[in-house]
Structure 1
Amino acid sequence: MYCLYAFNGELMCFVHVLLNALDMKDRDKEAIIVFEGAAVKLVPELEKPENPFHALYQKARQAGLVAGACKACSSKLGVLDAVKASGMPLLDDMSGHPSMAAYMDKGYTILTF
């Protein structure tokens, strides 16, 4: 089981998070994605149908691979309303941020991007 924490807000970096999570699923490995740090700003961009990676993002969401986005970072970076509008869960179990230790306690190996 793998938890892919995406901190990097660069779209081309995040595309590899999506590709790897989908590849893991195809290979019967459990994987989830957490939007953290600057990566939360990608949510409203990827929600746009005209974004070239919208379909890939939707495929990952429909496959249940997206665990959610950091609530504190979404608020601080001005995308909280957009993340809420996307229907993505807001993660805040560690002082407003998603806890890596909580995922580790569930057996996930943490990978950061």
Structure 2
Amino acid sequence: MKKVVFFAFQGEEMCFLHLLFNAIDMHKKGIDTKIVIEGKSTALVKTMTEKNNPLFKQVIELNLIDSVCEACSKQMGVYDFIKENTNLTFNGDLLGHPPMEPYINSDYEIITL
């Protein structure tokens, strides 16, 4: 089975929405799909939650979000919001950030946006 993990870094909402479109599409087509929310995109968790964005709700319902960067969410000022308002998991295994190495060792193709 093909395996893909998206690492979202950019804080641009349109870029993030396109990542969500593609993750949902790949999942529906049978590809093992995960999303890691990193960098400035951690702030979009708050934005998408407050807007009740249907695409964001769908990736949560499909359990596609593997983790959110602990360090970046703190840097972007959204750590407490995410912790208190979502069930998303933080990862800070690599100096506060989610490492790519475990995905590579599990044969995931990494796509960064």
Q: Structure 1 length normalisation: TM-score?
A: 0.93
Task: Report how far residue 103 of structure 1 moved.
Answer: 1.2
- The residue that corresponds to 1:57 in the other structure is 56
Give 1:87-102 correspondences, 5 Å limit.
87-102=87-102
**Whole-angstrom CA distance in 2 between matches of 1:34 and 1:82:** 17
Task: Report how far residue 24 of structure 1 moved.
Answer: 0.2
Root-mean-square deviation (Å): 1.0
- The residue that corresponds to 1:107 in the other structure is 107
Secondary structure of the 1:34 match is strand
% identity of equivalent residues:
35
Secondary structure of the 1:5 match is strand
Give the number of aligned pairs.
110
Question: Which digits, 9 at most, give the CA deviation of each residue in 1:31-71, with x for residues without a partner?
Answer: 111100000000111111xx2x7111011110011111100
Structure 2: runs of 5 or more not aligned: none
- The residue that corresponds to 2:73 in the other structure is 74
Matched to 1:89, the amino acid is T
Alignment counterpart, residue 22 of structure 2, candidates 20, 23, 26:
20
Structure 1 runs (4+) deviating above 6 angstroms are none
Q: Structure 2 length normalisation: TM-score?
A: 0.93
- The residue that corresponds to 2:39 in the other structure is 37
**Whole-angstrom CA distance in 2 between matches of 1:95 and 1:65:** 24
Of stretches 84-93 and 36-45 in structure 1, the one that deviates more from structure 2 is 84-93
